[in-house]
Amino acid sequence: MAGSKFAYVRNFELPDPLLPGTFMVLRLDGHAFHRLSAEHDFVKPNDERALQLMDHAARDVMNEFKDIVLAFGESDEYSFLFRRSSNVYNRRQAKILTTVASLFTSSYVYHWQQYLPNTRLKYPPSFDARLVLYPSAKEVRDYFAWRQADTHINNLYNTIFWALVLQGGETTTQAHETLKGTVSKDKHEMLFSRFSINYNLLPARFRKGSILVREPIPSETEAHADPGMVLPDVSAVEPEKKPRVKTTVVLVHCDIIGDEFWAAREYLLA
């Protein structure tokens, strides 16, 4: 088809392929959620309903993008790991980024009422997104360790900060002042001695974040395998001959900094 005399403008669209054989990690972050959480009366420091809504939107993304093998969420952000050999949308960066970001956002809005039934959504929320390529398993491990360490640091700070404000009667300015120069140990002690809060007994969702991990379903149900899904396979079988394995997405709130989580799931980094 020759097309119109205008069609040449198409040539200005540049290809944006992502390097093959690298790990794609896509991170979304809520735009101005400090304001969104205040305007919608999120419970401080952690509104569990809002976190569950984030988890639901992330699960919808994983149900649509079968090449995402792992996701990690905290606060208003979510990170998604694609299997190394993924060829989703021919690895076109803009196509992947924009489709994931808009699917996540629409799911967040679509399910808002289910999690916050008594809070009318006052305006349309949005999420920014970026995609980073990592060359090896080491950087991917360190990436997720970085995000989970961030969860811990933020949650410890926010927990003592809001205890000082909500239970200790301090203003937010005073609470910032009280915490200036304190190290982790001081915060644990202050939480325990002044507010009888044992940090380690707080819900794992708050301390560890949310991990959505794709796991194979044991073989007796393989007859009903999802034809769209191939799990990364550490064996030497030819890619086109790999058996299609039915998978499920599991939500956990465990440590992903140490080796145990990854050792039990070698396929994540295959």
Asked whether residue 29 is marked as a ligand-binding residue, the answer is yes
Question: What are the residues whose beta carbons fall under 8 Å from the beta carbon of 4, sequence distance 6 or more?
Answer: none
Residues 59-88 that bind Mg ion (CB under 5 A): 75-77
8 Å CB contact between 76 and 33: yes
Pair type for strands 68-74 and 77-82 = antiparallel
Query: Of the candidates 57, 72, 67, which has an alpha carbon nearest to the alpha carbon of residue 103?
Result: 57
Asked whether residue 181 is marked as a ligand-binding residue, the answer is no
Give the 3-state secondary structure of residue 198: coil
* Partner in contact with 139, chosen from Mg ion, ligand ATP, none, beta carbon below 5 to 8 Å by kind: none
Give the 3-state secondary structure of residue 83: coil
Min separation Cβ 78 and Mg ion, Å: 10
* Partner in contact with 255, chosen from ligand ATP, Mg ion, none, beta carbon below 5 to 8 Å by kind: none
Asked whether residue 169 is marked as a ligand-binding residue, the answer is no
- What the block records as the tokens of 262 is 């990854």
Judged by CB under 5 A, how many residues of this single chain contact Mg ion? 6
Cβ-count burial of 56 within 10 angstroms (0-12 exposed, 13-18 middle, 19+ buried)?
middle
d(CA 56, CA 50): 10
Min separation Cβ 200 and Mg ion, Å: 24
β-bridge partners, 26: 80, 131
Asked whether residue 30 is marked as a ligand-binding residue, the answer is yes
Query: Nearer Cβ to Mg ion, position 66 or 147?
Result: 147
Query: What is the contact surface with ligand ATP in residues (CB under 6 A)?
Result: 29-34, 37, 42, 44, 46-47, 50-51, 75-76
Min separation Cβ 165 and Mg ion, Å: 20
Min separation Cβ 127 and ligand ATP, Å: 9
Annotated binding site for Mg(2+): 29-30, 76
Annotated binding site for GTP: 29-34, 75-76
In the complex, the residues that contact Mg ion under the rule CB under 5 A are 29-30, 33, 75-77
